[in-house]
């Protein structure tokens, strides 16, 4: 694009993000950097539409950016500043008390983030990464069992699960003995990576029922159930407010039905673990949000060892004010990382 087409494109996108309405050629000529006619602007807009960067929602209407156009704007034209003092104060206020309950504080962070951005917030709480001291399986009934993890720092977690068919007290003891023999000094993540290798090496030593119990019991901490419990969603009503059309509301409700059931939520973990900073997903670029046509701005947060342990994000319509939302999400992620590190 030349300078004129870049300016037209930038002004159309900024006008759309500000108002949600198509931007017409007459609007652009009023404060354009050079004196040009509306006809000239229309020709440029047609060229940009041919390139796939702009679209026209109605005949004779102005233009709006396509998903590809928004992506190009976000990647190469967006102007990012710092969060405003008011925005920072609202986020800071949630971290100001001395409560020891990190999850409770992160819940308030999520509420503040949705309030500041007028979108829906996602907060992925930290994994517990202390080394494991002991593991136990407890049979409660034929189809219910409990797996108990005791960590070296005294923290205890237990979860109910459905054991494989045919489990006996003997196979449960064998499964626990197998795990306790290899668990010392390992975190959950490290243990998960070790299990498959150990089962292959010692397949003859461990009963098939115990093997199934090991795999199903430990999967609770690395699979979807754990991710569901770690995800805090706040402010979904923000996306249902305003002047959204009926079709848009239906798509947004589909998105939050998925989030309520925590379906495909491992995808959100992937977004966080792969990121080195704030990442922006627009519309169908991520399958979790493609049905709703929403955008996601997400940033990981790290512990004192610079290891990604969680994430914060904001979901909103594709016409998010990215220039404002990105610094807010980045600021919140840094604060949460410091909070978690200080309390570890």
Give per-residue pLDDT as tens, 276-298.
688 888 877 766 666 566 788 98
Rounded CA separation 256/270 (Å): 19
Question: Around 213, how many Cα atoms within 13 Å sit in the side-chain half-sphere?
Answer: 32
67-117 per-position pLDDT tens digit: 899 999 999 888 888 899 999 998 988 876 555 577 788 888 999 999 999
Distance CA 284, CA 295 (A): 9
Q: Are 17 and 322 in contact (CB under 8 A)?
A: yes
- Comparing 97-106, 231-240, 315-324, which segment has the lowest mean pLDDT? 97-106
At residue 224, the pLDDT reads 45
Q: What percent of the chain has pLDDT over 70?
A: 72
Please report which confidence band the pLDDT of residue 54 belongs to, taking 50, 70 and 90 as the band edges.
Answer: very high
Lowest mean pLDDT among 53-57, 287-291, 311-315, 319-323: 287-291
**Which tokens sit at 103?**
């999850």
Number of helical H runs and strand E runs in the chain:
15, 10
Token pair in block for residue 310: 């969680």
Distance CA 274, CA 285 (A): 15
Produce one character per residue of 165-178: b if its CB has 16 or more CB atoms within 10 Å, e if not: eebeeebbebbbeb
pLDDT value, residue 35: 84
3-class secondary structure, 302:
strand
Is a pLDDT exceeding 80 seen at residue 170? yes
pTM, to two decimals? 0.72
Q: Which CB contacts under 8 angstroms, 24+ apart, belong to 129-132?
A: 129/187, 129/188, 129/189, 129/303, 129/307, 129/309, 130/155, 130/187, 131/184, 131/185, 131/186, 131/187, 132/183, 132/184, 132/186, 132/187, 132/188, 132/191
The candidate with the shortest Cα–Cα distance to 328, out of 340, 342, 307, 314, is: 314
Higher pLDDT residue, 164 or 37? 37
Tell me which residue of 170, 148, 117, 158 sits closest to 297, measured CA to CA.
117
Q: In this structure, what are the phi and psi dihedrals at residue 309, rounded to the nearest 5 degrees?
A: -125, -5
d(CA 19, CA 23): 9
Q: How far apart are CA 331 and CA 337, in angstroms?
A: 10
């Amino acid at each position: 694009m030349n300078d004129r087409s870049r300016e037209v494109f930038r002004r159309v996108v900024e006008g759309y993000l500000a108002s949600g309405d198509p931007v017409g050629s007459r609007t652009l000529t009023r404060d354009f950097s050079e004196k040009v006619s509306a006809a000239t602007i229309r020709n440029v807009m047609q060229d940009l539409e041919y390139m796939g960067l702009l679209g026209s929602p109605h005949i004779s209407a102005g233009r709006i950016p396509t998903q590809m156009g928004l992506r190009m704007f976000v990647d190469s034209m967006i102007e990012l500043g710092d969060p405003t003092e008011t925005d920072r104060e609202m986020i800071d206020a949630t971290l100001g008390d001395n409560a020891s309950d990190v999850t409770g504080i992160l819940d308030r962070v999520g509420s503040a983030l949705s309030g500041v951005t007028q979108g829906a917030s996602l907060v992925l709480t930290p994994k517990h990464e202390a080394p494991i001291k002991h593991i136990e399986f407890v049979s409660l009934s034929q189809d219910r069992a409990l797996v108990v993890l005791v960590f070296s720092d005294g923290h205890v977690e237990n979860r109910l699960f459905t054991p494989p068919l045919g489990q006996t007290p003997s196979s449960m003891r064998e499964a626990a003995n197998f795990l306790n023999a290899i668990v010392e000094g390992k975190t959950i993540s490290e243990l998960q990576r070790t299990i498959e290798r150990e089962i292959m090496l010692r397949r003859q030593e461990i009963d098939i029922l115990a093997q199934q119990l090991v795999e199903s019991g430990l999967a609770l901490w690395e699979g979807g159930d754990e991710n569901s419990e770690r995800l805090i969603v706040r402010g979904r009503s923000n996306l249902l407010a305003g002047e959204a059309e009926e079709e848009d509301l239906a798509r947004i409700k589909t998105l939050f039905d998925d989030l309520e059931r925590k379906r495909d939520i491992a995808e959100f973990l992937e977004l966080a673990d792969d990121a080195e900073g704030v990442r922006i997903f627009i519309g169908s670029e991520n399958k979790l949000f493609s049905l709703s046509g929403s955008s996601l701005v997400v940033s990981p947060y790290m512990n004192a060892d610079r290891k990604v342990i969680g994430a914060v994000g904001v979901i909103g319509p594709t016409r998010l004010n990215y220039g404002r939302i990105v610094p807010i999400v980045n600021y919140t992620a840094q604060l949460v990382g410091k909070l978690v590190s200080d309390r570890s």
